[in-house]
Structure 1
Amino acid sequence: MKKIAIVFVVFIAIATIIVSKNLYDQKLKATATEAKQLMQENIEQEIQSEKEEAQKERLRLITENMDDAVAELVIGAVGNNEEIKIVITGSSVLEATAEMDSWPDIFMERLDEAYGHGVFSVEVVSYGDKGSYEVLHEKGYHLVVEKSPDILVIEPLLLNDNGITRIEDTLKHLDRFIDEVREVHNDIVVIVQPPQPIFQPSYYLTQVTKLEEHSLAKGYLYFDHWDMWPSIEDEALNEYILDDQRTPNEDGHHLWANFVSHYFISE
């Protein structure tokens, strides 16, 4: 009986040691697994942090050509995963044809290539051959308002108004148009740009000069893209304009898109 008791005690002791060893091994294994998982999470967090910093730096570099207000808008929207809506409005020169992309189409493609699809949306509101008074009288600004743009790129209808409306009135119509849009979207960024240049303009040059002076005085951002084209006194300019002198050809649209793209994409 005594031997049985001793054997039983020894058995219990051995069993206890084995169970304790198994529990200890399991605890070590669990600890090692947790440590490995924690290390993996830390590595992933570091990688993600490095990616985010790299993205921020690239975004800072790619927006270097922008004015501060535009850069802040773009960086803030990208950081919040919000789409940036650009509306480009003006005359029929904004319209693509079956034979030719317009400069806004080319510009949109370049934005997607540089920032990725879905960061920007670009919509065009064309008033065709209408003059500035007609657009204002018809409350054409509602077509822009309903699109809720963050950035408005507006080409005042200078060529459509040429010989019909005084530049002083065209500028008043421009201000009224912008005021109506800002009445609904008061934080919108407004960028004004002239239509394309033409060879040896007369009164049209006066219109464009006064447009730039007025835009800067009003605090609008101004795209002076004429510097990208051949001189208005150089017949080479006609190589970028259709025979009607009112519409860019394919090369002209690409040249115009180059200027606008360079502002939004500094790479």
Structure 2
Amino acid sequence: MKKFFIWLLAIVTISTLVGGKLHWDKRVEAVQGINSTVTDEENEKNESEEKEKREKQLEKLNFLPPELKETFKDKMEREEPVHLMVLGSGSSSSREGAWPGELEKGLIDTYGKEFIKVSLNEVGNRTSQQVIEEDLHKRFAEMKPDILLLEPFLLADYEGVDLSDRLKNIDDITGEFKKLNPDIFIIIQPSNPIPESAEYTEAEAELENYSKERKFVYLNHWEAWPIDGGDEIKNYLTKDNQPNEKGNKVWFEYVRKYFIRG
């Protein structure tokens, strides 16, 4: 009888262990099934969010000028921001409230930091000749921007640098950028207008012709200034013929409308 109870206890123990193991395995399978479902749902959610983000980014391309869309799309596919460099004289000041800084804010507000990066570079009152002699253009070119918005020191140059030298210097500057980044997109714009200067106006016209010959985009923001020959232009400039608050606003609005459309 004692042996019978021992065998019975052994059978019950084994049955309990086997039953517990089967029950545990079922619970594990159930949990794994839930985890698998959750993982699938998370993956679907992530894919949906990525698709929505991609669609929103593609929508932003609609705000760009046609000639810049390919540059932005290429960088977007590589998940890198487009680097826009603003390079100019004291007319394109890096101080607070000047048009370059306002443009940077507007671009980031529209496209986002993950989509565009803006660097502001001012060389003060240096002429194009001084920029070349000091190799400043080489330092900036090493940053390899995707887009160069260049205001090539027209106001500093027009009294001290001959036209032929001025245009050669611009060739040297843009050539350095193209050497380090053959795919760079170059945009040229003049310095701000000043009162009653026929020679300076002619210099601007030559800069526009030069830009078209080189197939650069030319942003003639002078179209937005009051340059009808009267004194109204003085209300947009400081005593040193640099853009004041009104002048910077006019310049900014013109350039903004080029980069942000629709």
Q: Secondary structure at the match of 1:141?
A: helix
Alignment gaps of 5+ in structure 1: none
Change in Cα spacing, 1:159 to 1:134, as seen in structure 2 (3 Å) is same
Among candidates 132, 147, 151, match of residue 151 of structure 1 = 147
Give how far 1:151 is off.
Answer: 2.0
Residue pair 2:81, 2:113 contacting (<8 A) in 1 also: no
- Give the CA deviation at 1:216: 0.8
* Deviations 1:37-60 (CA, angstroms, capped at 9, x unpaired): 254135313422432333233332
- List aligned pairs for 1:178-197, cutoff 5 A: 178-197=174-193
Quick check: 1:201–1:232 contact (8 Å CA) kept in 2?
A: no
For 1:93 and 1:28, locate their aligned partners in 2 and report how far apart those are by CA, in whole Å: 71
The counterpart of 1:87, out of the listed 82, 85, 88, is 85
Give the partner amino acid of 1:238: K
Deviations 1:194-233 (A, max 9, x none): 1112334311111111111111111112112122223443
CA distance in 2, matches of 1:77, 1:166: 39
1:201 aligns with 197
Partner SS for 2:136: coil
1:49-89 CA distances to partner (integer Å, 9 max, x unpaired)? Answer: 43233323333223x3252xx32222322343324333322
On the 8 A contact 1:197/1:232 being kept in 2, the answer is no
Partner residue, 2:245: 250
CA 90–71 in structure 1, closer or farther in 2 if over 3 Å, else same: same
Question: Which residue number in structure 1 is paired with residue 37 of structure 2?
Answer: 36
Deviation at 1:23, TM superposition (A): 5.9
Distance in 1 of aligned mates of 2:39 and 2:126: 66
CA distance in structure 1 between the aligned counterparts of 2:170 and 2:182, rounded to whole angstroms: 16
Compute the RMSD of aligned alpha carbons. 3.2
1:233 aligns with 2:258: no
Contact 1:104 1:124 in 2 (8 A): no
CA separation of 1:20/1:154 partners in 2, compared to 1, >3 Å: closer, same or farther? Answer: closer
Contact 1:141 1:177 in 2 (8 A): yes
Residue 169 of structure 1: aligned partner? 165
Q: In structure 2, what is the Cα distance between the partners aligned to 1:198 and 1:48? A: 51
Residues 31/184 of structure 1: CA separation in 2 closer, same or farther (3 Å cut): closer
Aligned to 1:77: 75
- What residue in structure 1 maps to residue 213 of structure 2? 217
Work out the number of aligned pairs and report it: 260
Q: What is the correspondence of 1:91-130 to structure 2 with a 5 Å cutoff?
A: 91-97=89-95, 101-117=97-113, 119-126=116-123, 128-130=124-126
Contiguous gaps of at least 5 residues in structure 2: none
TM-score (norm 2): 0.80
- CA distance in 2 between counterparts of 1:183 and 1:39 reads 48
Counterpart contact for 1:66–1:263, Cα < 8 Å: no
Q: Deviations along 1:144-178, whole A, 9 cap, x unmatched?
A: 22333222221122222223333233212211222
Distance 2:192 2:236 in 1: 10
Q: How far did 1:192 drift?
A: 0.8
Distance 1:52 1:253, change over 3 A: same
1:161 and 1:170 in contact (8 A); partners too: yes
Change (3 A) 1:200 1:18: same
Residue 86 of structure 1 aligns to which amino acid in structure 2? L
1:65 partnered with 2:62:
no
How many angstroms apart in 2 are the aligned matches of 1:95 and 1:120? Answer: 18
The Cα of 1:11 is off from its aligned counterpart by 6.4
How high is the TM-score relative to the length of structure 1? 0.79
